[in-house]
Structure 1
């Protein structure tokens, strides 16, 4: 092995000859098997993810359907029993009217007192349910959102102001239930 110590000696290169067709085929098959395994793993992961997403979708869809059904049931109950509180408040008024009519020998003064007491009960019941009167004063500016002009009359006051209230209006929770019927001062 003296030639290995000789500086002019060139070391032989490893065998870099082309692989045999069988070796090349085996290497290609190994690469294909590796790629196929990788694709199979990726496909399995995607299938699992798809199954999980499909289950989440079905759960969300069922939850939305249940919420819609519960909301419909609640709305049906609200519609059905919406006037329950008001009706309960009006029962004492009904009782008072029936009691007043049951009295056979009432004087005019007793009838008036009974009617006034019943009116106060009715006003109280309505105000508990936020049904409030709209009673503009003469001279107030006409508001088409709360007042309905029946006529315009000549008057010694500002134009488009209220001259007289013919019928009270009513609000329910700040929404006009019925506008007040009024006459309005005509422009001069």
Structure 2
């Protein structure tokens, strides 16, 4: 029901149109609803932002931990890389000490002991991927594996082939540790 006093002041209410007060109240209600929705959205975004910031911090911590663990592994690898090699040389050391401990050894015993120790040493080197380079005479000279000390004339042998090996070379895991020192045949 409409108030008769209101009708006198506001004749528009007869036609069903809202009064300016009603429009203002409705606009205020809409603005309040929009403000509440915006505040709710802000709160949700702030919560999402805090969650993302926490995820970033955790990811950064994970990366730092992984980096630290990798650095520790590299450090341990460097520190103990030679451990296996040293362990394989210990029997050679034991054999040498045992040979020197014999007071009345004959030259034959010393030779046998030295040969056995040499076999142990070669075996230890091979187990650790240290392979000797000892090219046979007449094989092709390879500057990646051999170092030519001199060039000598060798009748009946092709030029740039190995005449003799002065010192064996060695590789370690397919990498040159020391090239073989060789003499190379000269062109005729």
Same fold (TM over 0.5): yes
| 1:103-152 superposed Cα distances (whole Å, 9 cap, x missing partner) | 22222222111111110010111111111111122222222222222233
Equivalences for residues 29-178 of structure 1 within 5 A: 29-155=28-154, 156-178=156-178
- The CA distance in 2 between the partners of 1:28 and 1:152, in whole Å, is 106
Distance 2:63 2:146 in 1: 44
Q: CA deviation at 1:97?
A: 0.8
Change (3 A) 1:94 1:33: same
- Contiguous gaps of at least 5 residues in structure 2: 1-13
Q: Secondary structure at the match of 1:137?
A: coil
Distance 1:103 1:37, change over 3 A: same
TM-score when scaled to structure 2? Answer: 0.81
SS of the aligned residue for 1:132 comes to: strand
Measured on the aligned residues, the alpha-carbon RMSD in Å equals 2.1
**What SS does the aligned partner of 1:51 have?**
helix
Residue 6 of structure 2 is matched in structure 1 by none
Q: Are the structure 2 counterparts of residues 22 and 174 from structure 1 closer, same or farther at C-alpha, using a change threshold of 3 Å?
A: same
Compute the TM-score of the two structures, normalised by the length of structure 1. 0.81
* 1:55-109 Cα shifts (integer Å, max 9, x gaps): 1111111111111222222222222221111111111111111111122222222
Distance 1:185 1:41, change over 3 A: farther
Cα distance in 1 between the residues matched to 2:30 and 2:143: 85
Could you tell me how far apart the structure 1 residues matched to 2:157 and 2:15 are? 120
Name the SS for the 1:150 alignment partner.
strand
In structure 1, what is the Cα distance between the partners aligned to 2:140 and 2:38? 81
Q: Mean alpha-carbon deviation: is it higher for 54-63 or for 22-31?
A: 22-31
Trace 1:19-30 onto structure 2 (pairs within 5 A): 19-30=18-29
SS in 2 for 1:114: helix
> What runs of 5+ residues in structure 1 fail to find an aligned partner?
1-13
SS of residue in 1 equivalent to 2:137:
coil
